[in-house]
Amino acid sequence: MSHYPKKGVWTTCPACGRHVHTGQWGPWQQCPYCQHWQRLTATQRIQQLVDPDSFQALPTPERPKNQLGFPGYTKRLAQAATTSGLTEAVVTGTATIATWPVMLIVMDSHFMMGTLNTAVTRRMITALDQAQAQRLPVILVTASGGARMQEGLYALVGMNLVLAAVARLATAQLPLITVLTDPTMGGVSASFAFKGDMVLAEAGAKIGFAGPRVIQQTMPVTLPPDFQTAASLYQQGAVDAVVARPALRDKLTTILAAYQCSGVTPRG
Amino acid sequence: MDERLKRLRAADRLRAPQVINALLPTFVAQHGDRLLGDDAALTAGFGRTAENLGLAVLGIDRGTDLVSRRQKNGGALTVPGYRTALRVLQHAAKFQLPVVSLINMPGADASPISERFNQSQAIADLIAAMGQLTVPNLVVFLGEGHSGGALAFANANRIIMLDDSLFNVASPEAVAAILHGQQTVSEAIDLLPMTAADLHQRGLVDTVIDHRQADLVAVINQRIVTAVSELQALSPVELIAQREAKFQAFLAQWPIN
């Protein structure tokens, strides 16, 4: 028997580099040494937010495809599916949060950095339209590097199309609550992320359009340590609140209670 | 630099203000977002064509020399630029003026100041407003347009491109960069559909104009007027639906699974 620890038991904290035991990350996936919040998978996120056993996934027949034959994309898709266990970078479904019924759209950065492509666009539009049909408020958790370049303009137009669906939701007077988590960048940041009726940022998240690397390629500039952090965005008035992970469910509950959206039979 | 890109970025390339001058003999410029400032890359305003057609215009150009290129940030719009454009849209809707955008811009502005003023929000607001505009809108690609900024202007009822212009998710340089130098910038142009001919064949682009015509400006303006006249038959609801249907039809070319 090998004396090495079982695979997956110890991981390196991406922020402080210390080795952290699975048990030490705790239920909220926070580094015990530097308090860094580990990026959650969509499954973990949903589990933390919804009432037990209330999540019902929407049918998602969409699968990614290397339709344009972009070099290396097919291989990366296969890797993403293997490492994430997902079929695309977003999970959609209905659930209740403290008994409030909601439509959940949760992006997952573990699948090709959560990039927006044709399949993600389609799943989001289906979920937004379903929310309208069932009169549900929408909670959209973003975690994305932007538009998926390998799908070219087909990915980029997703920004227009999701925003068109968001506009229909608004016409139906249903709230969209966006939760910006690490990372929310590029085409996702510049479309639906900031178009929520309420925009929350998870503590510690990096949120922006062009990231530090791209900016520093353009100009020699020293960026402040809090550049594009949730806290600095809040100070600048870009988001309604910064919410620490353990408080997110309660925060959403309060917002849902304030909107009083109770599903197919609206109250009051 | 790639020959095709050099042409689009050349100092003698046809610029939006030249087209607007010819299009609108009566022209009133609008400046500033009333909050942060003005964007020199943006020519914004409204006026009347020779046929007395009222139009609102948004032109973006990169500048012709070092000084003007610097003033105009090479055509990379800043937050005041997007916000001024948004103001022009609201004004156009109020006075029932169809909106014509003429663009030649690189990708978004990568700078701390644009991040500080949340260009994500500025771009998102412009995309949403273009999509929900109750008057007709169209875009003419005079050169290149990439990324979310260009997409906001292209969220239009009609997309017109000069035959050598480019429209993509990111600049050819950025596409080459994600491939870690395995492909040159020239090769990157052919990796994704971004040329006018390709996008026209795929149905996203409605009209392609040969840029070598002697009377190019007159041809562009005639196409603009024709497109606007066609669109004026549509109601506000139909205009909004047509825009979405146009991009849905493009997306539908991609297999679901």
**pLDDT computed for residue A44 by the predictor:** 97
Clarify whether residues A118 and A15 are in a common domain.
no
Low-confidence ranges of chain B (pLDDT < 50): none
CA distance readout (Å), B157 to A65, B71, B238, B239: 28, 31, 10, 7
Q: Binning pLDDT at 50, 70 and 90, where does residue A266 land?
A: very low
pTM value? Answer: 0.96
Clarify whether residues A95 and A116 are in a common domain.
yes
Clarify whether residues A226 and A100 are in a common domain.
yes
Which domain CATH number covers A110?
3.90.226.10
Which domain CATH number covers B168?
3.90.226.10
Q: Find the length of chain A.
A: 268
Clarify whether residues A27 and A73 are in a common domain.
no
Residue A215 has pLDDT above 80, yes or no: yes
Q: Do B110 and B33 form a contact (C-beta atoms < 8 A)?
A: no
CA–CA distance, A175 with A101 (Å, rounded to integer): 12
Question: How far is A22 from chain B, CA to nearest CA, in Å?
Answer: 33
Count other Cβ atoms within 10 Å, centred on residue A263. 15
Clarify whether residues A26 and A112 are in a common domain.
no
Domain annotation covers residue B256: no
Domain annotation covers residue A265: no
For residues A171-181, average pLDDT: 97
Q: Nearest residue on chain A to B179, judged by CA atoms?
A: A71
Q: Find the length of chain B.
A: 257
Is-cis flag, bond preceding A101, omega within 30?
no
Interface test with B, best of A75, A160, A189, A226 (most B CBs within 10 A): A160
Q: Which of B131, B65, B50 is nearest to B93 (CA)?
A: B131
**pLDDT computed for residue B182 by the predictor:** 84
Clarify whether residues A70 and A180 are in a common domain.
yes
CA Rg value for chain B: 17
**Which A residues in the span 194-223 are in contact with B, Cβ-Cβ below 8 Å?**
194-195, 207-210, 214-215, 217-219, 221, 223
Tokens of B27: 């022209």
For residues A180-199, average pLDDT: 98
Amino acid at A176: L
Clarify whether residues A98 and A16 are in a common domain.
no
| Percentage of chain A modeled with pLDDT above 90 | 88
Question: How far is A252 from chain B, CA to nearest CA, in Å?
Answer: 22
CA–CA distance, A249 with A251 (Å, rounded to integer): 5
**pLDDT computed for residue B76 by the predictor:** 95
Chain A contact present for B239, CB below 8 A: no
Domain annotation covers residue A153: yes
The verdict on ipTM greater than 0.85 is yes
Per CB-CB distance under 8 Å, the chain B contacts of A158 are 251
Domain annotation covers residue B49: yes
Q: How many structural domains comprise chain A?
A: 2
Clarify whether residues A170 and A64 are in a common domain.
yes
Q: Binning pLDDT at 50, 70 and 90, where does residue A208 land?
A: very high
What is the residue range of A150's domain? 39-259
Domain annotation covers residue B257: no
Tokens of A37: 């919040």
Q: How many structural domains comprise chain B?
A: 1
3-state secondary structure of A158: helix
Clarify whether residues A20 and A43 are in a common domain.
no
**pLDDT computed for residue A3 by the predictor:** 67
Chain A contact present for B176, CB below 8 A: no
What is the residue range of B121's domain? 3-251
Q: Binning pLDDT at 50, 70 and 90, where does residue A267 land?
A: very low
Q: Do B69 and B16 form a contact (C-beta atoms < 8 A)?
A: no
Q: Binning pLDDT at 50, 70 and 90, where does residue A219 land?
A: confident
Interface test with B, best of A185, A209, A213 (most B CBs within 10 A): A209
Clarify whether residues A81 and A68 are in a common domain.
yes
CA–CA distance, B59 with B45 (Å, rounded to integer): 9
Phi-psi region of B218 (alpha: psi -120 to 50; beta: other; left: phi over 0): alpha
Domain annotation covers residue A57: yes
Residue A244 has pLDDT above 90, yes or no: yes
**Which A residues in the span 93-132 are in contact with B, Cβ-Cβ below 8 Å?**
118-119, 121-122
CA–CA distance, B89 with B152 (Å, rounded to integer): 12
